[in-house]
Amino acid sequence: MTDPIQIKTSLREWVETATHRAMRDQARYVKSLGFSMPQFFLLMRVYYRKQCGISDLSEHMEITAAAASQTVDKLVQGGFLERTEDPNDRRAKQVTLSPKGLDLIERGFAERFRWVDEMERNLSDEDRRKVGEALAILAEASREDD
């Protein structure tokens, strides 16, 4: 039914669709909240890392430590991040999401995943089974280091 040669293309198309929608929805969500993209990307980095220092944010976002420090500071003042001293190295800071910040990110996910959930609801049990199987395969294949 599906030509094996076409898998690469359809995988790309699928990833492309998902990415395009997610980015569009995310951009709208960020804007509606009054955040800038850099601010939101920083929050997302903290979300994925659970906890990280200014240096990590600086490297990851490819900006100076000064810039990272300033952005963090704004988000701390807004109550979205918490900044504490690293007990192992008192020069360093540990940045984490506040409950308010976490809630914000999670609402963002809900927003980004609305169309996914919608799509999922419209699948038959048989389709659901097939898709589930394929997702397990893909999840396994995509284990990688960040």
Partner DNA sequence: GCATATATTTAAGTCTACTTAAATAAAAAG
Partner DNA sequence: CTTTTTATTTAAGTAGACTTAAATATATGC
Residues that bind DNA (CB under 7 A): 36, 38-39, 53-56, 58, 61-67, 69-74, 83, 86, 89-93
Residue in this structure with the two tokens 């089974």, named with its chain if needed: 129
Region 61-120 residues binding its own copies, contact defined as CB under 8 A:
62, 109, 112-113, 115-117, 119-120
The partner in contact with residue 36, picked from its own copies, DNA, none with C-beta cut-offs of 5 to 8 angstroms by kind, is DNA
Residue 87 CB, shortest distance to its own copies, in Å, is: 30
Tokens of 59: 């490297």
Q: How far apart, in whole angstroms, are the C-alpha atoms of residue 94 and residue 82?
A: 8
Region 22-41 residues binding its own copies, contact defined as CB under 8 A:
22-23, 27-28, 31, 37, 41
Q: Which parts of the chain fold into alpha helices (H)?
A: 7-33, 37-49, 54-61, 65-77, 99-112, 114-121, 125-141
